[in-house]
Structure 1
Amino acid sequence: MSSENDQNPFRRKVMTRQPGLIGAQWWNEGLSAMSDPVSRRKALQALAVFGGAVAVGGFALASTSGEDEYLELHDALQMQRERGWNFGATDDSLTFTGQTKVPLKPQDLNTLATELTPKQDALKPFSQATLFQSVASSSAGSLALTLRPIFTPEMNTAFKQGQALAALFAEQPEAARATAVLVDLPGPESIAFATALAERFEPVFTFDNWPHPVGVVPAHLTLAAATYYQPTLRELASRRTLPAPPVFVLDRQRLASYNDQEREFDNRYMARMPSAEQLRKLGIQHVLYVAPGGQGQTQELDDLNEDFVIWRTSGLDVKLVAAKDFQPDTTTPAVATGPGMTGTPDGGTPADAGSSAMATASTTPSRPDAGTDAGTSAVATASTPPRPSHWYYGGSRMAHDSFWFIYPWGRTHTSTGLVHGLPSSGILSAKNVPQVPPNVSKGYAYEPQRRTTMFSAIPRGATGAFRPFPSGFGKVAMRTSSNSRAILGPAFSSRSSWSRSSSYSSSGG
């Protein structure tokens, strides 16, 4: 007796619901198995290996639906702009950790890209507003409705660490004017850290992708953090003296691992930095790279290696400092603070120096509409449990005072008997001069060294033009008709179509 499949060998595999494409694809499992020796997974693997070479001619897939098709690589961001930010996964949701109760004002989303663009014309060429433009795009649609501001403990910590660094530059304004800061932390934390510097440094955001429900880079969290800090950045921009040195804001997750072409969307991108000549024209002599710190977190990411090496060989002084080098002071008695109170037993510390726009008791920025919500309130109340009120380099005032001896970019006060020690790393030693704190990274001795990466073979243009992406990077495989050359849909599948046994979560926030 014939089986049901023998009686009706064709069955629907997927319903196409992309904009402008409505219909179903029908497959004959038996014939497909015989006539298609290369499975879709193998084809995707081949695309990953051959990259751009396959993108031209595609990778053929046999089909019994009456029309052969092949896989072709397309720019992932361009596909999102044409087909919608969540194309191929319209039934999936974004998950937001650290959601606040602060309402998101539509007018703020409309001005996000404009407000977060550098005010200085000299810095505008290096700004990437792609992520901020995603909510204003006509193809973004539901993204603006889905977005929620977030504020996490990690963002709070990063902001305090940024304030400690801002205080150091407040002590050395000449060094600040000659320094470009690069903050390379996870996106939300980078925004928080840079916001703390934004009264003296002008933020230059470099987020060059869009969110996607199955994207390997969680760009929606970076976007959500930007909406949280937008009012604070707006206030600080009005107080900033121009010209101001740049703080480049990077997302350390931009090079996230991309392993499963059938279940992941490649929204990776590479940071695009100014040339050494362009930095010099801005008056920059020093570059301070802020990395997370900890094991394996005190080296520049692969896409920055070429730039850093060229900067160093061109005479720019490139150093690294770990965000974890800035720690709360546990040696000073902590006090509870309330509205209008400084919470500083010694009458003021580096944690609040150079941050007059943050006229609040705590070290988190205030949101004018935050009210008293525990997740967003920047003002500590009288009932707040005592906690360290100061953040310092090395975790103490004494260690903090050693920074400009370890990073010799500012004017230091020398005294009789001062001798130079370890001149190659810029460390000064004397009985009355603070020594290197034992609990900080060795970023002061950092020198970028050329190494082989996937970006090594991509030269910068003679005029300082940005490097192009490597082959197959930031691409999406699209199923394309062999006859009409029309795009039929993406090769990846949405989370909602995966097996219930999948380890991926399909819940949204």
Structure 2
Amino acid sequence: MQNEQHPEFGAEWWREMLSRRDANKRLVKLTALSAILSASGIFQGCDIDDEQEVSMDTTELQRQEGWNVGAPDKPLVLNGKTSQDSLNSLGWSAYLDPETLLKAYEPSRADLKPFVVTTLVQSLSQPSLRGQMSPIFTPAMQVAYSRGLGMKELLKQSKDPENVALVVDIAGAEAVAFGAALADVTHLVICFDNWPHPLGVVPSQETLGAMLYFAEEVSHKAKNASRKSSSSFFTR
């Protein structure tokens, strides 16, 4: 299949992903804009009609001012919060370290590593965010995991798995659950590019909570994945 013959291949889901990214940028920009402009003196001597928009990538703003910039007193909402991981252990706490969590989900195939997006996991470098995070597990994640088991059986039947790639474009926490179910027959490639925020449009904290929930399971399963296993990309 040549891209020249199919110029719109993947365009719809890609545009949707970009639109979610833009929406989150606008939200954090609005909540933090007043504080930033006041601190820098831009409002002094100016009419509100003359206000100049400050453009800054959401994640860069959070790196500089803190993950919860604009809403420091508002706690994160974690639906399905639980104290144990998918193996009914407390081992998930070790994965609050971003490097340890990345290692658990890192594909062993060298050709896939450049496609990994570490943005979401890097947010755990902020201590106050780590203090609010815990695993989550929801009914929707259970359904996604069951569907992942079905996909696992299909992948096991492939005669050329190394040339099979899945693009999983469902809600982040569900995507993680789906991937965890088949982590021993495919290489997971995470592409989560938002940071959690108390007022965020995209509930990235739930994606992160799901990653904590399945981290130990995925880490164990990945050791059984053949180098010639398929690849699965997770975009939300």
The TM-score, its normalising length taken from structure 1, stands at 0.36
Secondary structure of the equivalent of 2:223? helix
1:79 paired with 2:65, answer no
1:180 paired with 2:158, answer no
**CA–CA distance in structure 2, aligned partners of residues 82 and 183 of structure 1:** 31
Letter aligned with residue 158 of structure 1: A
> What's the Cα RMSD here?
2.6
The question of whether the paired residues in 1 share the 8 Å contact of 2:92 and 2:212 is answered with: no
The question of whether the paired residues in 1 share the 8 Å contact of 2:137 and 2:213 is answered with: yes
**CA–CA distance in structure 2, aligned partners of residues 95 and 78 of structure 1:** 22
Residue among 112, 130, 133 paired with 2:122: 133
**CA–CA distance in structure 2, aligned partners of residues 76 and 108 of structure 1:** 25
What does residue 147 of structure 1 align with? 133
- Per-residue deviation, residues 276-303 of structure 1 (Å, max 9, x unmatched): xxxxxxxxxxxxxxxxxxxxxxxxxxxx
Residues 95/37 of structure 1: CA separation in 2 closer, same or farther (3 Å cut) = closer
**CA–CA distance in structure 1, aligned partners of residues 139 and 216 of structure 2:** 19
Letter aligned with residue 36 of structure 1: D
Aligned-pair CA distance for 1:141:
2.5
What does residue 310 of structure 1 align with? none
Residue among 149, 160, 164 paired with 1:163: 149
**CA–CA distance in structure 2, aligned partners of residues 107 and 196 of structure 1:** 21
The question of whether the paired residues in 2 share the 8 Å contact of 1:117 and 1:129 is answered with: no
Which protein is richer in strand relative to its size? 1
Structure 1: give runs of 5+ residues left out of the alignment: 1-15, 39-59, 62-69, 252-509
Which protein is richer in helix relative to its size? 2
Residue among 47, 55, 74 paired with 1:92: 74
Residue among 187, 194, 198 paired with 2:179: 194
What does residue 36 of structure 1 align with? 47
- Per-residue deviation, residues 452-497 of structure 1 (Å, max 9, x unmatched): xxxxxxxxxxxxxxxxxxxxxxxxxxxxxxxxxxxxxxxxxxxxxx
The question of whether the paired residues in 2 share the 8 Å contact of 1:169 and 1:176 is answered with: yes
- Structure number with the bigger relative contact order (C-alpha 8 A, sep ≥ 6) is 2
What does residue 230 of structure 2 align with? 245
Aligned-pair CA distance for 1:105:
4.6
Aligned-pair CA distance for 1:17:
7.8
Secondary structure of the equivalent of 1:121? coil
Q: How many correspondences in the alignment?
A: 194
Secondary structure of the equivalent of 1:88? coil
**CA–CA distance in structure 1, aligned partners of residues 190 and 92 of structure 2:** 21
Residue among 211, 214, 223 paired with 2:196: 211
- Per-residue deviation, residues 105-144 of structure 1 (Å, max 9, x unmatched): 54222111222222211001111011011102xxx23100
**CA–CA distance in structure 2, aligned partners of residues 247 and 164 of structure 1:** 15
What does residue 118 of structure 1 align with? 107
- Give the share of equivalent positions with the same residue, in percent: 34
Which has the higher Rg, Structure 1 or Structure 2? 1
The question of whether the paired residues in 2 share the 8 Å contact of 1:183 and 1:190 is answered with: yes
What does residue 27 of structure 2 align with? none
1:409-428 correspondence runs (5 A) = none
Aligned-pair CA distance for 1:200:
0.9
